[in-house]
Amino acid sequence: MPEDQRPDDDDRPDDDRPDDDRPEAERLLRRQLDRLWVRQTLRTVLIEQSGGLDPTARVILRAVERLGAVRSTAVAERTGLSRPVVSRRIAGLVDAGYVRTTPDPDDGRAALLALAPAGRALLDGLDAQGDAVFDDVTSVFDGQELRDLARLLARFNDRAAEVLGAGGEDAGAGGGVPT
Protein backbone atom coordinates (compact mmCIF):
# COMPACT_ATOMS: atom_id res chain seq x y z
CA MET A 1 0.00 0.00 0.00
CA PRO A 2 1.43 3.42 -0.92
CA GLU A 3 2.66 5.46 2.03
CA ASP A 4 0.11 8.25 1.42
CA GLN A 5 -2.79 5.76 1.60
CA ARG A 6 -1.80 4.11 4.85
CA PRO A 7 -3.89 5.13 7.84
CA ASP A 8 -2.05 6.89 10.61
CA ASP A 9 -1.75 4.80 13.75
CA ASP A 10 -3.71 7.57 15.46
CA ASP A 11 -6.68 6.76 13.20
CA ARG A 12 -6.88 3.16 14.33
CA PRO A 13 -9.14 2.36 17.29
CA ASP A 14 -7.23 1.63 20.48
CA ASP A 15 -9.10 -0.50 23.01
CA ASP A 16 -6.92 0.88 25.82
CA ARG A 17 -8.07 4.50 25.49
CA PRO A 18 -10.34 5.88 28.23
CA ASP A 19 -14.08 5.47 27.64
CA ASP A 20 -14.76 9.15 28.38
CA ASP A 21 -13.07 10.30 25.16
CA ARG A 22 -16.28 10.25 23.08
CA PRO A 23 -15.35 13.00 20.57
CA GLU A 24 -12.13 11.17 19.72
CA ALA A 25 -13.98 7.86 19.45
CA GLU A 26 -16.51 9.44 17.07
CA ARG A 27 -13.68 10.88 14.96
CA LEU A 28 -12.05 7.45 14.74
CA LEU A 29 -15.36 5.84 13.75
CA ARG A 30 -15.99 8.48 11.07
CA ARG A 31 -12.51 7.92 9.68
CA GLN A 32 -13.00 4.15 9.47
CA LEU A 33 -16.46 4.51 7.90
CA ASP A 34 -15.02 6.95 5.34
CA ARG A 35 -12.36 4.38 4.42
CA LEU A 36 -15.03 1.69 4.08
CA TRP A 37 -17.30 3.91 1.95
CA VAL A 38 -14.42 4.82 -0.36
CA ARG A 39 -13.72 1.13 -0.91
CA GLN A 40 -17.41 0.45 -1.56
CA THR A 41 -17.54 3.32 -4.06
CA LEU A 42 -14.50 1.96 -5.89
CA ARG A 43 -16.05 -1.51 -5.89
CA THR A 44 -19.28 -0.10 -7.34
CA VAL A 45 -17.35 1.57 -10.15
CA LEU A 46 -15.56 -1.70 -10.92
CA ILE A 47 -18.86 -3.61 -10.98
CA GLU A 48 -20.43 -1.08 -13.35
CA GLN A 49 -17.36 -1.07 -15.61
CA SER A 50 -17.44 -4.86 -15.87
CA GLY A 51 -21.05 -4.84 -17.10
CA GLY A 52 -22.74 -5.07 -13.72
CA LEU A 53 -25.56 -2.90 -12.44
CA ASP A 54 -25.49 0.44 -10.70
CA PRO A 55 -26.24 0.36 -6.95
CA THR A 56 -29.91 1.38 -7.24
CA ALA A 57 -30.64 -1.27 -9.86
CA ARG A 58 -28.88 -3.89 -7.70
CA VAL A 59 -30.95 -2.94 -4.65
CA ILE A 60 -34.14 -3.28 -6.71
CA LEU A 61 -33.04 -6.58 -8.24
CA ARG A 62 -32.19 -7.94 -4.77
CA ALA A 63 -35.62 -6.90 -3.49
CA VAL A 64 -37.34 -8.70 -6.38
CA GLU A 65 -35.17 -11.74 -5.63
CA ARG A 66 -36.18 -11.74 -1.95
CA LEU A 67 -39.85 -10.92 -2.42
CA GLY A 68 -40.65 -13.22 -5.34
CA ALA A 69 -43.63 -12.27 -7.51
CA VAL A 70 -44.24 -8.72 -6.34
CA ARG A 71 -45.65 -5.38 -7.44
CA SER A 72 -43.28 -2.47 -7.95
CA THR A 73 -45.04 -0.59 -5.12
CA ALA A 74 -43.92 -3.30 -2.68
CA VAL A 75 -40.36 -3.02 -4.00
CA ALA A 76 -40.48 0.75 -3.38
CA GLU A 77 -41.76 0.23 0.17
CA ARG A 78 -39.23 -2.49 0.93
CA THR A 79 -36.23 -0.55 -0.38
CA GLY A 80 -37.20 2.97 0.69
CA LEU A 81 -36.83 4.18 -2.90
CA SER A 82 -39.47 6.39 -4.50
CA ARG A 83 -42.06 4.78 -6.75
CA PRO A 84 -40.96 6.78 -9.83
CA VAL A 85 -37.34 5.69 -9.34
CA VAL A 86 -38.39 2.06 -8.94
CA SER A 87 -40.65 2.25 -12.02
CA ARG A 88 -37.88 3.69 -14.20
CA ARG A 89 -35.31 1.17 -12.98
CA ILE A 90 -37.72 -1.76 -13.32
CA ALA A 91 -38.33 -0.76 -16.95
CA GLY A 92 -34.57 -0.89 -17.57
CA LEU A 93 -34.23 -4.23 -15.78
CA VAL A 94 -37.09 -5.67 -17.85
CA ASP A 95 -35.53 -4.33 -21.08
CA ALA A 96 -32.19 -5.89 -20.10
CA GLY A 97 -33.89 -9.24 -19.45
CA TYR A 98 -33.12 -9.34 -15.72
CA VAL A 99 -36.74 -9.03 -14.55
CA ARG A 100 -39.90 -10.42 -16.13
CA THR A 101 -43.44 -9.17 -15.67
CA THR A 102 -46.73 -11.03 -15.55
CA PRO A 103 -50.24 -9.68 -15.08
CA ASP A 104 -51.36 -9.53 -11.45
CA PRO A 105 -54.23 -12.05 -11.14
CA ASP A 106 -55.83 -9.87 -8.44
CA ASP A 107 -55.68 -6.66 -10.48
CA GLY A 108 -55.37 -6.83 -14.25
CA ARG A 109 -54.08 -3.24 -14.35
CA ALA A 110 -51.01 -4.13 -12.29
CA ALA A 111 -48.01 -6.31 -13.07
CA LEU A 112 -46.07 -8.70 -10.90
CA LEU A 113 -42.30 -8.65 -11.11
CA ALA A 114 -40.09 -11.71 -10.84
CA LEU A 115 -36.43 -12.45 -11.34
CA ALA A 116 -35.69 -13.66 -14.89
CA PRO A 117 -33.04 -16.33 -15.55
CA ALA A 118 -30.58 -13.63 -16.72
CA GLY A 119 -31.18 -11.72 -13.47
CA ARG A 120 -30.56 -14.88 -11.46
CA ALA A 121 -27.32 -15.50 -13.38
CA LEU A 122 -26.18 -11.90 -12.83
CA LEU A 123 -26.84 -12.05 -9.08
CA ASP A 124 -25.17 -15.47 -8.81
CA GLY A 125 -22.06 -14.05 -10.49
CA LEU A 126 -22.02 -10.99 -8.24
CA ASP A 127 -22.52 -13.23 -5.19
CA ALA A 128 -19.60 -15.46 -6.15
CA GLN A 129 -17.30 -12.45 -6.60
CA GLY A 130 -18.55 -10.81 -3.43
CA ASP A 131 -18.30 -14.01 -1.38
CA ALA A 132 -14.68 -14.51 -2.37
CA VAL A 133 -13.74 -10.95 -1.41
CA PHE A 134 -15.80 -11.07 1.79
CA ASP A 135 -14.22 -14.37 2.85
CA ASP A 136 -10.76 -12.93 2.26
CA VAL A 137 -11.51 -9.71 4.18
CA THR A 138 -13.11 -11.50 7.15
CA SER A 139 -10.59 -14.35 7.34
CA VAL A 140 -8.56 -12.51 10.00
CA PHE A 141 -11.52 -12.34 12.42
CA ASP A 142 -12.81 -15.15 14.60
CA GLY A 143 -16.51 -15.98 14.83
CA GLN A 144 -17.12 -13.95 17.98
CA GLU A 145 -15.49 -10.86 16.48
CA LEU A 146 -17.71 -11.20 13.40
CA ARG A 147 -20.84 -11.56 15.58
CA ASP A 148 -19.80 -8.52 17.63
CA LEU A 149 -19.20 -6.46 14.50
CA ALA A 150 -22.54 -7.56 13.01
CA ARG A 151 -24.37 -6.70 16.25
CA LEU A 152 -22.78 -3.24 16.45
CA LEU A 153 -23.40 -2.51 12.78
CA ALA A 154 -27.04 -3.57 13.17
CA ARG A 155 -27.44 -1.13 16.07
CA PHE A 156 -25.70 1.58 14.05
CA ASN A 157 -27.91 0.95 10.99
CA ASP A 158 -31.10 0.80 13.07
CA ARG A 159 -30.25 4.09 14.77
CA ALA A 160 -29.33 5.71 11.45
CA ALA A 161 -32.72 4.64 10.05
CA GLU A 162 -34.46 6.16 13.09
CA VAL A 163 -32.57 9.45 12.83
CA LEU A 164 -32.68 9.75 9.05
CA GLY A 165 -36.13 8.24 8.59
CA ALA A 166 -35.04 6.81 5.27
CA GLY A 167 -34.33 3.51 3.67
CA GLY A 168 -36.33 0.36 3.80
CA GLU A 169 -35.18 -3.01 4.98
CA ASP A 170 -33.32 -3.71 1.75
CA ALA A 171 -31.85 -0.25 1.15
CA GLY A 172 -28.27 -0.94 0.20
CA ALA A 173 -28.55 -4.60 1.04
CA GLY A 174 -26.89 -7.22 -0.97
CA GLY A 175 -26.16 -10.25 1.11
CA GLY A 176 -22.76 -10.84 2.66
CA VAL A 177 -21.16 -8.00 0.79
CA PRO A 178 -23.16 -5.25 -0.79
CA THR A 179 -23.35 -5.98 -4.54
73 within a domain of the structure (yes/no): yes
pLDDT in tens, 52-111: 788 889 899 999 999 999 999 999 999 999 999 999 999 999 999 999 999 999 988 889
- Which domain covers residue 103, as residue numbers? 55-118
Rounded to whole angstroms, the Cα distance separating 168 from 56 reads 13
pTM of the predicted model, to two decimals? 0.62
What is the domain count for the chain? 1
2 within a domain of the structure (yes/no): no
Rounded to whole angstroms, the Cα distance separating 88 from 143 reads 41
68 within a domain of the structure (yes/no): yes
Of 131, 118, 61, the closest CA to residue 90 belongs to: 61
Q: In angstroms, what CA-CA distances link 38 with 45, 88, 95, 126, 149?
A: 11, 27, 31, 19, 19
1 within a domain of the structure (yes/no): no
Q: What is the CATH number of the domain that holds 92?
A: 1.10.10.10
Of 157, 154, 174, the closest CA to residue 60 belongs to: 174
